[in-house]
């Protein structure tokens, strides 16, 4: 019953299905047949130009379904030439419900349908990773990728899944798990790949492909209309590239200018920091020099002050000695004159004793002259001392703290 449904779908989907070989087919769609673009089944697919193969069209549809063990999602993909020839058919299902015995039964069923025995590869068991099996029929060959190619696939920069096959149904995961990945090459054939864990859940991939047509698409299969479209698209593509190039050049120029401005600003900032450091150093040096000068001036001033204090003490001692000498001389002179006066003094006739006593106490001319001479000599000594110590400033200050009767004023 299932085989009859597949044949019916192939008849509806492809106009020449009755005469084309259906040996390698997926879901009733065989490679090598030609599509009927007006069919309802074809319109169920979304089609666009293939980004992977020049001149081919890629069609895809997704269906959600369920079986007795649970729901699943199936993705169908087709690659065909401009004239509708089918080169690739793929069906991927996740999750798929398998155990090891069911996987073996499914492989035997496809072997009976194809009429040939497959080449079977089994993934070595690894803890935490589902088990996997790949069965190959026909002229397909599988080439294992090297480590460099696996690294590219792990970075999701490699070819799409349709070019590669692995045990887990996810080449990116297999690359990151360091599991084997194979490139599909050779001729036409059929691939069965499934994985299953301990619970019987996994993935299933069925692929019918003419690898020779995918790897080297014949140019003669491109229609005249498609060639004209490519030729007409070239000038527009060149214009678009020129526009993009001009925009890129402008962006580069802006980035270069911004880089230059940033470098200039950095240099100016560095110069400003250097100038600030130099100015700070010069100010510090100036402060140190001025402080040294000030300390020297203060030291010299202190030395002069000490010298002046010594000189002042000497002049004060000389002054006091001179004053003492003058006082002694004056006193002696006054006493001598007074005694002589007493010896020679006679009361005038008619004078009373009181008048005679008063006149005897009056200063004689000699005593007045001596007193005047003493005052003049004292003033000269004081002026000389003040002139020698302080100079003529016109101001006066108290020389020392002595009794009021012994104060001596000097010019400052």
Q: Are both 175 and 321 inside the same structural domain?
A: no
How far is residue 406's CA from residue 320's CA, in Å, rounded to a whole number? 10
Q: Is residue 240 part of a domain?
A: no
Domain hosting 386: range is 313-411
Banded pLDDT at 304 (limits 50, 70, 90) = confident
User: Is a pLDDT exceeding 90 seen at residue 286?
Assistant: no
Q: Looking at 193, 222, 251, which one is the last position of a domain?
A: 222
User: Do 323 and 216 share a domain, yes or no?
Assistant: no
Last residue of a domain, one of 175, 191, 222: 222
User: Is the pLDDT score of 385 beyond 70?
Assistant: no
The tens digit of pLDDT for each residue in 311-334 reads 666 656 666 666 667 677 767 766
Q: Is 116 domain-assigned?
A: yes
Comparing 263 with 349, the larger pLDDT belongs to 263
Answer yes or no: is 147 within a domain: yes
Q: Are residues 211 and 332 in the same domain?
A: no
Q: Are residues 125 and 6 in the same domain?
A: yes
Total Cβ atoms within 10 A of residue 403: 6
In a domain, 18, yes or no: yes
- For the residues of 197-261, what is the DSSP string, one character each? -TTSEEEEEEEEEEHHHHHS--GGGS-HHHHHHHHHHHHHHHHHHHHHHHHHHHHHHHHHHHHHH
308 within some domain: no
- Using the 3D structure, point to which of 222, 243, 276 is the last residue of a domain: 222
218 and 317 share one domain: no
In a domain? residue 301: no
Number of domains the chain contains: 2
């Amino acid at each position: 019953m299932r085989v009859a449904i597949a044949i019916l779908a192939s008849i509806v989907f492809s106009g020449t299905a009755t005469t084309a070989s259906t040996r390698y087919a997926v879901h009733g769609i065989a490679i090598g047949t030609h599509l009927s673009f007006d069919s309802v089944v074809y319109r169920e697919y979304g089609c666009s130009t293939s980004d992977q193969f020049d001149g081919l069209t890629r069609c895809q549809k997704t269906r959600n379904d369920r079986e007795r063990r649970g729901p699943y999602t199936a993705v169908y993909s087709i690659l065909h030439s401009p004239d509708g020839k089918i080169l690739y058919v793929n069906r991927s299902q996740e999750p798929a419900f398998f155990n090891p015995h069911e996987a073996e039964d499914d492989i035997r069923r496809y072997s009976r349908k194809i009429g040939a025995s497959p080449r079977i590869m089994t993934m070595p068991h690894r803890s935490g990773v589902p088990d996997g099996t790949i069965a190959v029929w026909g002229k397909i060959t599988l080439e294992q990728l090297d480590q460099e190619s696996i690294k590219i696939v792990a970075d999701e920069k490699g070819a799409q899944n349709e070019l590669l096959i692995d045990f887990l149904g996810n080449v990116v995961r297999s690359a990151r798990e360091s599991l084997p990945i194979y490139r599909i090459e050779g001729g036409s054939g059929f691939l069965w790949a499934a994985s299953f864990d301990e619970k019987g859940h996994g993935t299933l991939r069925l692929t019918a492909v003419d690898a020779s047509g995918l790897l080297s698409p014949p140019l003669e299969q491109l229609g005249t209309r498609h060639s004209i479209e490519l030729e007409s698209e070239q000038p527009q593509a060149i214009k678009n590239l020129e526009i993009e190039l001009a925009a890129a050049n402008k962006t580069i120029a802006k980035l270069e200018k911004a880089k230059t401005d940033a470098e200039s600003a950095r240099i100016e900032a560095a110069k400003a920091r250097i100038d600030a450091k130099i100015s700070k150093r010069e100010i510090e040096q100036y402060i140190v020099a001025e402080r040294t000068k000030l300390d020297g001036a203060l030291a010299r001033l202190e030395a002069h002050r000490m010298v002046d204090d010594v000189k002042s003490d000497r002049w004060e001692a000389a002054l006091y000695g001179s004053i003492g000498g003058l006082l002694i001389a004056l006193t002696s002179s006054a006493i001598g004159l007074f005694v002589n006066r007493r010896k020679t003094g006679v009361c005038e006739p008619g004078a009373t004793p009181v008048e005679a006593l008063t006149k005897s106490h009056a200063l004689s001319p000699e005593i007045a002259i001596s007193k005047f001479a003493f005052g003049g000599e004292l003033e000269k000594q004081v002026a000389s001392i003040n002139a020698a110590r302080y100079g003529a400033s016109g101001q006066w200050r108290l020389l020392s703290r002595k009794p009021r009767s012994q104060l001596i004023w000097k010019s400052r």
